[in-house]
Amino acid sequence: NAGVTQTPKFQVLKTGQSMTLQCAQDMNHNSMYWYRQDPGMGLRLIYYSASEGTTDKGEVPNGYNVSRLNKREFSLRLESAAPSQTSVYFCASGDAPSYNEQFFGPGTRLTVL
């Protein structure tokens, strides 16, 4: 039981490049989330998926797209990376009755030059 896994762990991009961050969970959760963590700002929700086939914007969705590929996988795509997207990205999953008790992946540290 691996919990929530994320790939890659580290990535460096040049401005304008694209990439996809992968996330998978093996806990059979319906809900999955993408957050970014920036110094002094805590974690901010980018997008979430309440169930397979649905996605919703969070607090900071601009510049990102997501895909809920199946129940296990939820990917985050940067179409044209910008330096402002330099951050640590965390994927999480959770489910009823404790939507609140989210389980987090190890994070992806992304630097955009």
Partner 1 sequence: AQSVSQHNHHVILSEAASLELGCNYSYGGTVNLFWYVQYPGQHLQLLLKYFSGDPLVKGIKGFEAEFIKSKFSFNLRKPSVQWSDTAEYFCAARDTGRRALTFGSGTRLQVQP
44 near partner 1, judged by CB under 8 A? yes
What is the spatial order of strands in the sheet that 74-78 belongs to? 4-7, 19-25, 74-78, 64-68
Q: How far is the CB of 42 from partner 1 (least distance, A)?
A: 4
Does residue 62 contact residue 1 with C-beta atoms inside 8 Å?
Answer: no
**Applying CB under 8 A, which of residues 21, 107, 110, 112 lies at the interface with partner 1?**
107
As given in the structure block, the two tokens for residue 15 are 């401005």
102 near partner 1, judged by CB under 8 A? yes
| Positive/negative CA dihedral, 29, 53, 32, 21 | positive
41 near partner 1, judged by CB under 8 A? yes
Phi, psi of 70 (to 5 degrees): -165, -170
100 near partner 1, judged by CB under 8 A? yes
Distance CA 101, CA 113 (A): 35
106 near partner 1, judged by CB under 8 A? yes
50 near partner 1, judged by CB under 8 A? yes
Residues near partner 1, by CB under 8 A: 4, 31, 33, 35, 40-45, 48, 50, 58, 90, 92, 94, 98-102, 104-107
